[in-house]
């Protein structure tokens, strides 16, 4: 099938470009390589097309398909998208990616090289030919320009015509098209065929193929899903398309495996999307208002949400009473404390989905499953020995502060009784500099038991003062304030020489408070928090680090690259302990290209970075370094034609 006929078929809807989750991931080097091969008439591979039955004859591009068949382009999407962009001068409809990867491609008539436009090198040089302009206007225009320039060597006229014609005739190159057809070709079989044909290259997942089929029958699917992700982003919660698809799958099919979506018709998927939106909204309201987990950095175990959404769906979208809500939240808290869905997400999720599908006492079944895995769900002081803001007990301590009637250090008021919760910032009870001066290690300095979440006014009041000074002052001014933060009242422990004893004592108090709260949730006897609700403004990032991560994701989106997953849960392969990565691309920055997974880790210690590297991640510890890597190795930007984000 000729290249130009493939493009025309896409415009007419006779061939559908699947909306795989990875979108367009090629860079400029790959685009140049393809054009060089086509110019030299080197083989560039065949196309693989899946013929499947459509739900209707309408597909993307506004055209109609042959009755009874829909052709999904499985292998060749990057090549065909590149050629579409170069020949048509614009990306195909529903394109997602960095169109700068194929925009302003030029060819040098003498050197026979393809390069992207650079004004210092190419301006006013008629030997540099705009490839898209040639494809759209033909050879004659450029020969006329060369003759008018006065720089044409008459002896080269035939050579130039032949080279221009060779580029123009790329449109007429035949691609061999392999078709996978037949009622027996299920998603499992098609994925297996693709991955065998494409061994060593981009792999296709069942989720990719399920989303491709959904997108072919309902072209607006991806846009509708991205709209929801943007809405939740506006509330301070960053989710990925893959996460939302998993939620929809759980709600619609009761299954964690994406292959279950293959049998879901468009109306059912649309209904599932609308229902999932309502359920996720309700769940976010629940964890915000009841647990105080009111922004992205403290939202633990986001992969519990597919299960939570399915549970709520089976209950008709409504829980029986507040006691059932609290028992459900009891289960949710333990999923992020013990990393229930860190690692093998699908197997654990399918196991739990089966429990709530088949059991009358489904919530008790979930809790019992946790107990089988953990043995005892009570917390011990040693559970609070972790350190760092990516530790699983970091959001738990934040939650305890929100729900435990902690008092504002600046006013002494109960912060859960103000009608609207104030912003909280992280504070080290013992200042870092003081502890480093006394030669404590970094894990000790950044111990969870040394953390407190206080209001900006409270933070400015105490600053980096010696704890023996400001703790005494707080206790004298507002008796009971220190106890509301589980800070031991033994004055001897407020000195750096007794810091390790301070940590031991505070862990004891934290464990007692945690078990009291969790047991109250489990029993459904905790009082409400005075109907506290948060405004949209209060749901924005609370700290500079979270804001930097969100800005980084926004920049990636502007480059047409995938956003990272905020606070991505993983398990250390050595200790099997769960921890989180600030911003992670588990499939690499160009999913499917075989690249290493990537992580951005801000203000993390060497132990966290080493654990990420043991998992195979390339880890960046600063945003500028990450940007430089993306520009140099992923976008391969021409310094003459692009402006760095760092300038």
Which tens digit of pLDDT belongs to each residue from 227-267?
999 999 888 898 888 889 999 999 999 998 877 887 788 88
Confidence band of 574 (pLDDT split at 50, 70, 90): confident
Alpha carbons 519 and 525: distance in angstroms, whole number? 9
Q: What is the dihedral of CA 197, 199, 203, 204, to 10 degrees?
A: 20
Neighbouring residues of 625: CB distance < 8 A, sequence distance ≥ 6? none
* The pLDDT of residue 362 is above 70: yes
**Would you say 308 and 332 are in contact if contact means Cβ atoms under 8 Å apart?**
yes
**Would you say 56 and 69 are in contact if contact means Cβ atoms under 8 Å apart?**
no
Q: Which two tokens stand for residue 635?
A: 């976008």
Query: What are the beta bridge partners of residue 51?
Result: 71
* Lowest-pLDDT choice from 18-22, 128-132, 456-460, 628-632: 18-22
Mean local confidence (pLDDT), 272-297 = 92
- Residue whose token pair is 């502007």: 558
* The pLDDT of residue 331 is above 90: yes
DSSP classification of residue 182? S
| Helices within 404-543 (DSSP H only) | 432-437, 442-445, 456-462, 467-477, 481-484, 499-523
Largest CA distance in the chain: 96
- Which strand ranges, in their side-by-side order, compose the sheet holding 128-130? 114-116, 105-108, 128-130
- What sign has the CA pseudo-torsion 399, 405, 408, 413? positive
Query: What are the beta bridge partners of residue 114?
Result: 107
Q: 273-312 burial, b for 16+ CB within 10 Å, e for fewer? A: bebbbebbeebbebbbbbbbbbbbbbbbbbbbbbbbbbbb
Q: How long a stretch of residues is the chain?
A: 647
Name the percent of the chain in helix, strand, coil, to the closest 5. 55, 10, 35
Q: Please, what is the Cα angle at 360 between 359 and 363, to 5 degrees?
A: 75
* The pLDDT of residue 58 is above 60: no
* The pLDDT of residue 55 is above 80: no
Reduced to 3 states (helix: H, G, I; strand: E, B; else coil), residue 205 is coil
Quick check: pTM over 0.85?
no
* The pLDDT of residue 509 is above 90: yes
Neighbouring residues of 281: CB distance < 8 A, sequence distance ≥ 6? none
Neighbouring residues of 290: CB distance < 8 A, sequence distance ≥ 6? 325, 326, 329, 403, 529
Computed on alpha carbons and rounded to an integer, the radius of gyration of the chain in Å comes to: 29
**Would you say 526 and 517 are in contact if contact means Cβ atoms under 8 Å apart?**
yes
* Lowest-pLDDT choice from 65-69, 71-75, 498-502: 65-69
Closest CA to 397 of 445, 451, 326: 451
Mean local confidence (pLDDT), 109-134 = 92
- What sign has the CA pseudo-torsion 268, 272, 275, 277? negative
Q: In whole numbers, what is the pLDDT of the chain averaged over residues?
A: 84
* The pLDDT of residue 56 is above 50: no
Alpha carbons 87 and 79: distance in angstroms, whole number? 12
- What sign has the CA pseudo-torsion 485, 486, 489, 493? negative
pLDDT score, position 135? 95
Query: Strands 578-585 and 565-571: what pairing?
Result: antiparallel
* The pLDDT of residue 427 is above 90: yes
Alpha carbons 409 and 608: distance in angstroms, whole number? 32
> In which element (H, E) is residue 116 found?
strand 114-116
**Phi, psi dihedrals of residue 567, rounded to the nearest 5°:** 50, 60
* The pLDDT of residue 451 is above 50: yes
* The pLDDT of residue 386 is above 90: no
Which carries the bigger pLDDT value, residue 623 or residue 417?
623
Alpha carbons 493 and 365: distance in angstroms, whole number? 44
**Would you say 295 and 540 are in contact if contact means Cβ atoms under 8 Å apart?**
yes
Q: Which two tokens stand for residue 586?
A: 């588990």
Which carries the bigger pLDDT value, residue 7 or residue 535?
7
* The pLDDT of residue 539 is above 60: no
């Amino acid at each position: 099938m000729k290249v130009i006929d493939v493009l025309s078929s896409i415009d007419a809807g006779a061939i559908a470009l699947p909306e795989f989750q990875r979108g367009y991931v090629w860079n400029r080097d790959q685009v140049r390589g393809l054009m060089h091969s086509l110019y030299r008439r080197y083989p560039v591979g065949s196309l693989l097309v899946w013929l499947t039955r459509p739900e209707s004859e309408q597909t993307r591009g506004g055209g109609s398909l042959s009755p009874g068949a829909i052709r999904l382009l499985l292998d060749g999407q990057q090549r065909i998208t590149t050629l579409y962009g170069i020949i048509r001068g614009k990306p195909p409809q529903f394109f997602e990616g960095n169109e700068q990867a194929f925009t302003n491609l030029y060819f040098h008539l003498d050197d026979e090289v393809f390069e992207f436009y650079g004004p210092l090198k190419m301006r006013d040089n008629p030997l540099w030919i705009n490839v898209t302009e040639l494809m759209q206007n033909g050879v004659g225009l450029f020969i006329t320009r060369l003759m008018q320039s006065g720089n044409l060597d008459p002896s080269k006229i035939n050579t130039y015509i032949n080279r221009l014609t060779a580029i123009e005739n790329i449109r007429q190159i035949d691609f061999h098209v392999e078709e996978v057809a037949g009622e027996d070709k299920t998603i499992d079989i098609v994925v297996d065929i693709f991955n065998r044909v494409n061994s060593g290259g981009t792999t296709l997942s069942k989720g990719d193929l399920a989303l491709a089929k959904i997108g072919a029958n309902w072209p607006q699917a991806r846009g509708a899903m991205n709209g929801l992700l943007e809405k939740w982003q506006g509330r301070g919660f960053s989710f990925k398309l893959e996460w939302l698809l998993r939620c929809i799958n759980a709600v619609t099919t009761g299954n964690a495996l994406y292959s279950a979506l293959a049998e879901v018709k468009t109306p059912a998927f649309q209904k599932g999307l609308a229902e999932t939106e309502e359920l996720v909204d309700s769940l976010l309201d629940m964890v915000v208002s009841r647990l105080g987990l009111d922004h992205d950095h403290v939202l633990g175990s986001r992969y519990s949400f597919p299960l939570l959404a399915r549970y709520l769906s089976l209950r008709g979208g409504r829980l029986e009473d507040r006691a059932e809500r609290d028992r459900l939240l009891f289960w949710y808290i333990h999923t992020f404390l013990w990393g229930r869905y860190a690692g093998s997400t699908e197997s654990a999720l399918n196991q739990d989905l089966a429990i709530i599908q088949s059991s009358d006492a489904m919530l008790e079944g979930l809790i019992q499953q946790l107990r089988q895995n953990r043995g005892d769900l009570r917390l011990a002081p040693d559970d609070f020995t972790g350190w760092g803001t990516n530790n699983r007990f970091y959001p738990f301590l934040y939650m305890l502060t929100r729900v435990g009637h902690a008092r504002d250090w600046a006013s002494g008021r109960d912060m859960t009784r103000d009608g609207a919760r104030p912003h909280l910032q992280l504070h080290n009870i013992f200042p870092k500099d003081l502890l480093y001066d006394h030669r404590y290690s970094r894990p000790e300095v950044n111990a969870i038991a040394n953390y407190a979440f206080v209001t900006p006014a409270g933070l400015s009041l105490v600053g980096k003062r010696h704890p023996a000074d400001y703790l005494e002052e707080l206790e004298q001014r507002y008796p009971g304030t220190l106890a509301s933060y589980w800070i031991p009242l033994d004055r001897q422990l407020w000195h750096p020489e007794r810091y390790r004893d301070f940590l031991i004592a505070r862990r004891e108090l934290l464990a007692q408070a945690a078990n009291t709260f969790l047991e109250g949730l489990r029993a459904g006897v905790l009082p409400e928090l005075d109907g506290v609700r948060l405004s949209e403004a209060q749901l924005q990032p609370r700290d500079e680090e979270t804001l930097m991560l969100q800005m980084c994701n926004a920049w990636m989106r502007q480059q047409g690259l995938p956003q990272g997953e905020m606070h991505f849960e993983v398990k250390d392969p050595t200790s099997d302990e769960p921890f989180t990565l600030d911003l992670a691309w588990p499939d690499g920055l160009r999913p499917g290209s075989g690249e290493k997974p990537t992580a951005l880790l801000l203000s993390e210690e060497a132990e966290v970075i080493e654990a990420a590297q043991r998992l195979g991640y390339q880890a960046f510890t600063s945003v500028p370094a990450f940007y430089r890597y993306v520009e140099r190795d992923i976008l391969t930007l021409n310094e003459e034609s692009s402006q760095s984000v760092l300038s």
